[in-house]
Structure 1
Amino acid sequence: MNFVDFIQKGGLAIWPLLFLSILSIGTIFERLWFWSTVLRGERKTTDRILDAARRDWDEATHLARQATAQPMGRFLYTPLRLANKEPEIFRLALEASADEELNAMRRGHKVLEAVIAIAPLLGLLGTVLGLIRSLSAIRLGDIGTSSLTNVPIGIGEALISTAAGLIVAIVSLAFYRLFQGLLFHQARIFRRTGNELELTYRQFWLQSQNIARAAAQPSNFESPKNLPGY
Structure 2
Amino acid sequence: MNAFTIISKSGFIGYVLLMLSIVALAIVIEKIIVLRSSKIAPQEEIRTMVMLLSSEKIGDVIEFCKRNKFLISEIIIEAFRNIGEISRTNFLNAFEVIARKRIAELERGMTLLATIATVAPLLGLLGTVLGMVKIFGVLDTGTAAMANPQQLSAGIAEALLTTVFGLIVAVPSYVAYNLLQRKLDKLVFDIEQAGVIIANNLKGFKQ
Give the percent of matched residue pairs that are identical in Structure 1 and Structure 2: 25
For residue 71 of structure 1, report the CA deviation from its aligned partner. 1.0
Aligned counterparts of 1:120 and 1:19: Cα–Cα separation in 2: 14
How many residues are paired up? Answer: 203
- Structure 2 SS opposite 1:185: helix
Aligned to 1:107: 108
Query: Closer, same or farther in 2 for the Cα pair 1:43/1:14, shift >3 Å?
Result: same
Q: Write the mapping of 1:1-230 to structure 2, written as runs, cut at 5 A.
A: 1-36=1-36, 38-39=38-39, 42-55=42-55, 56-67=57-68, 69-81=69-81, 82-139=83-140, 154-201=155-202, 203-206=203-206
- Structure 2 SS opposite 1:172: helix
For residue 165 of structure 1, report the CA deviation from its aligned partner. 1.0
Aligned counterparts of 2:29 and 2:71: Cα–Cα separation in 1: 19
- Normalising to structure 1: TM-score of the pair? 0.77
User: Given that residues 138 and 148 in structure 1 are in contact (C-alpha distance below 8 angstroms), is that contact kept between their aligned partners in structure 2?
Assistant: no
- Structure 1 SS opposite 2:85: coil
Aligned to 1:221: none
The residue identity in structure 1 corresponding to 2:7 is I
Gaps spanning 5+ residues in structure 1: where?
210-230
For residue 198 of structure 1, report the CA deviation from its aligned partner. 1.1
Query: Closer, same or farther in 2 for the Cα pair 1:3/1:192, shift >3 Å?
Result: closer
- Structure 2 SS opposite 1:84: coil
Q: After superposition, what is the alpha-carbon deviation per residue over 1:134-167, rounded to whole angstroms, capped at 9, x for unaligned?
A: 122225966xx97797757743442111111112
- Structure 2 SS opposite 1:137: helix
The residue identity in structure 2 corresponding to 1:117 is T
Aligned counterparts of 1:2 and 1:154: Cα–Cα separation in 2: 19
> Whose radius of gyration is greater, 1 or 2?
1
For residue 83 of structure 1, report the CA deviation from its aligned partner. 4.8
Query: Closer, same or farther in 2 for the Cα pair 1:50/1:111, shift >3 Å?
Result: same
The residue identity in structure 2 corresponding to 1:155 is I
Aligned counterparts of 1:123 and 1:147: Cα–Cα separation in 2: 29
Q: After superposition, what is the alpha-carbon deviation per residue over 1:95-127, rounded to whole angstroms, capped at 9, x for unaligned?
A: 112211211110111221231232122111111
